A = this chain, B = another copy of it.
Amino acid sequence: MANPTPQPIEVYTSLPRERDAIGEITRRAGVFNAEEVTTVFELFDDYLRSPGSGYNFFSAKVDGRLAGFACWGLTPLTEGTYDLYWICTDPEQQNRGVGKALFQSVETAIRERNGRMMVIWTSSTAEYHPAVNFYERMGCSQAACLRDFYKPGDDLLIYQKDISKNR
């Protein structure tokens, strides 16, 4: 069977009414615990309440349905460093380029703000290996590893992408 025609992916600034759908995607991703899902809601509420909160959300839609989101923003107390806090694709919409479209939209937005660097915190555990592979495919490299940071046996990995290159 031939691959289906790829659906176009639309990325845009998240809408207030997408709050529940974003929470639902985070839950269904399967890698985030209850505290982390709550954190996504808190950041989304900060984002809705105040544009200066430092948290921006992008949504990705495929075929009229929300397929993923990214949360990113200027890292406090830095000049030109941006955190990609969350990037999450609906498990039913994997391998269609949703994550890549979101990542590239965030990267473009950071460049437009004269950002120099993108930073991503992630975990060393097996369930995050696909995420780590994704960051590496997107041109990020590991800048630090803090052993047992999240809990014993669960290290913090910091990935970084130099955005100042190839302007």
Residues in chain A within 8 A of chain B (CB atoms): 35-36, 39, 75-81, 116-117, 119, 143-152, 158, 160
Contact = CB atoms under 8 A, between A and B. Distances in A.
Contact of A151 (B79, B146, B150, B160): B79
How many copies of this chain?
A: 2
Contacts of A75: 149
A35 B77 CA distance: 7
Given A39-B77, A77-B36, A146 B144 contact: yes
Contacts of A147: 143
Contacts of A39: 76-77
A97 B160 CA distance: 38
Contacts of A158: 144, 146
A77 B150 CA distance: 7
13 contacts: A35-B77, A77-B150, A78-B151, A79-B150, A80-B151, A81-B149, A116-B148, A116-B152, A117-B148, A119-B149, A144-B145, A144-B146, A146-B158
